[in-house]
């Protein structure tokens, strides 16, 4: 194996890939070659990483020649097709898509919570969780380690970039349509103005919130809601954890927010919870409502940590806490977590 591993970034041109290139340029440079891969549409484009222009190559078997670690920031079906090819060619894959997360032979890793899981990878694939799960799981993992988690009831307020470049473009064009108008004052006026231009969303997002993220699953649940449940259980190693999620899209470009009701084994105190959150790696406690201090997506965007505010003990349950959590879905919610996993694995190469 090479001392400085060769890295492939598959999906380098996408919303997550773009942030990945920024992160790779900001973090300690542990990589040998960084190869940028996307669809044939992008072949020949030049992108900047580590201050140098690198030409994008189309995905192919040869694109993985000599690659030690391959990050996949592409749609599920593209990862399902190409990640096993990269693994067969000797690369360790770190996959950001949903294609392998619930495969029992693929660990689902958040380095602050379950770094040990990344060492067992029978398929040579390690998965990074969905952005909604990642928005809260670092803070929840820290509280679980102290108090023992029994139940999560969460509502998400998810940004449009969770739906990739198409999501960002849709919100920006809708905002341009409604800016400076009196829209939002009579039933359906925004919908009529926006017309069919709802992009990847089932309803207009400008001047609106939409209680739907993902695709329809059994009994009215959405795929995003099931991901929050299944992935939280797998990361925390709590297969029986009670989880209820309601996922909502809001007109925010980047940074997901969550309200969290977390119930633990025994009585909890706000003081102890605050102490844990204030010292947990990757978490910032920002919680002084008297001073107007709580996280908001507009302030959190572009930052790495999970920001926690509004920490309260439930009025009717001394074993439960209420939190408001914000995390940048393109940084910790996807690219940063993937980069951290890749760096964790790369450290094995030089150990």
Indicate the residue among 134 and 323 with the shorter CB distance to ligand NAP.
Answer: 134
User: Which among 27, 131, 144, 261 is annotated as catalytic?
Assistant: 131
**Where does this chain touch ligand NAP (CB under 6 A) — which range of 10-18, 211-219, 288-296, 343-351?**
10-18
Residue with the CB atom nearest ligand NAP in the bound state: 14
| Angstrom distance (rounded) from CA 212 to CA 329 | 17
Q: Is 278 annotated as ligand-binding?
A: no
- Helix axes 15-26 and 164-178, enclosed angle (nearest 10): 110
Torsions phi, psi for 293 (to 5 deg): -100, 110
User: Which among 144, 247, 256, 326 is annotated as catalytic?
Assistant: 256
Instruction: Answer yes or no: 256 catalytic.
Output: yes
Q: Is 329 annotated as ligand-binding?
A: yes
Q: Is 14 annotated as ligand-binding?
A: yes
Among 5, 6, 8, 17, binds ligand NAP (CB under 6 A): 17
Task: For residue 257, list its beta bridge partners.
Answer: 157, 326
| Angstrom distance (rounded) from CA 25 to CA 29 | 7
Q: Is 42 annotated as ligand-binding?
A: yes
Cβ atoms of residues 219 and 264 within 8 Å = no
Q: How far is the CB of 56 from ligand NAP (least distance, A)?
A: 7
Does residue 304 belong to the site contacting ligand NAP (CB under 6 A)? no
Indicate the residue among 127 and 320 with the shorter CB distance to ligand NAP.
Answer: 127
Q: How far is the CB of 149 from ligand NAP (least distance, A)?
A: 23
Does residue 301 belong to the site contacting ligand NAP (CB under 6 A)? no
| Angstrom distance (rounded) from CA 72 to CA 32 | 18
Does residue 255 belong to the site contacting ligand NAP (CB under 6 A)? no
Does residue 138 belong to the site contacting ligand NAP (CB under 6 A)? no
Kindly tell me the number of DSSP H helices and DSSP E strands found in the chain.
9, 14
Cβ atoms of residues 21 and 71 within 8 Å = no
> What SS3 state is found at 25?
helix
Strand order through the sheet with 242-249: 242-249, 149-158, 256-264, 320-327, 306-313, 283-285
Nearest to 333 by CA among 260, 256, 262: 256
Q: How far is the CB of 41 from ligand NAP (least distance, A)?
A: 4
Instruction: Answer yes or no: 247 catalytic.
Output: no
Does residue 27 belong to the site contacting ligand NAP (CB under 6 A)? no
Instruction: Kindly state the DSSP code that residue 231 receives in the 8-state scheme.
Output: H
Cβ atoms of residues 173 and 265 within 8 Å = no
Which residues are at the interface with ligand NAP (CB under 6 A)?
A: 11-17, 38-39, 41-42, 59, 73-76, 78, 96-98, 130-131, 161-162, 164-165, 329-330, 333-334
Annotated binding site: 13-16, 41-42, 101, 158, 161-162, 249, 329
* Residues assigned a catalytic role: 131, 256
Annotated binding site for phosphate: 101
């Amino acid at each position: 194996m090479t001392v400085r591993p060769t890295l492939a970034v598959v999906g380098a041109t996408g919303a997550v890939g773009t942030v990945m290139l920024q992160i790779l340029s900001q973090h300690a440079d542990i990589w040998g070659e960084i190869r940028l891969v996307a669809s044939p549409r992008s072949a020949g484009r030049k992108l900047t990483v580590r201050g140098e222009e690198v030409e994008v190559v189309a995905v192919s078997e040869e694109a993985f020649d000599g690659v030690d670690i391959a990050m996949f920031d592409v749609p599920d079906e593209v990862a399902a097709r190409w990640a096993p090819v990269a693994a067969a060619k000797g690369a360790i894959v770190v996959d950001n898509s949903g294609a392998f997360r619930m495969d029992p032979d693929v660990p689902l890793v958040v380095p602050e919570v379950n770094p040990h899981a990344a060492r067992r990878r029978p398929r040579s694939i390690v998965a990074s969780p969905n952005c909604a799960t990642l928005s809260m799981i670092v803070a929840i993992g820290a509280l679980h380690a102290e108090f023992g988690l029994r139940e999560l009831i969460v509502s998400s307020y998810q940004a449009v970039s969770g739906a990739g470049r198409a999501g960002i473009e849709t919100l920006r064009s809708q905002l341009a349509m409604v800016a400076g108008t009196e829209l939002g004052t009579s039933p359906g006026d925004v919908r009529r103005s926006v017309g069919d231009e709802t992009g990847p969303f089932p309803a207009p997002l400008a001047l609106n919130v939409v209680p739907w993220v993902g695709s329809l699953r059994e009994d009215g649940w959405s795929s995003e809601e099931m991901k929050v449940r299944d992935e939280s259980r797998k990361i925390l190693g709590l297969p029986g954890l009670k989880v209820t999620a309601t996922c909502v899209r809001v007109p925010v470009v980047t940074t997901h927010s969550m309200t969290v009701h977390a119930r633990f084994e025994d009585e909890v105190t706000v003081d102890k919870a605050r102490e844990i959150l204030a010292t947990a790696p990757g978490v910032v406690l920002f919680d002084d409502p008297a001073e107007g201090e709580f996280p908001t997506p507009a302030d959190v965007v572009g930052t790495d940590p999970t920001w926690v505010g509004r920490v309260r003990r439930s009025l009717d349950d001394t074993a439960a806490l209420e939190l408001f959590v914000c995390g940048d879905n393109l940084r910790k919610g996807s690219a940063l977590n993937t980069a951290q996993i890749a760096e964790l694995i790369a450290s094995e190469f030089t150990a």
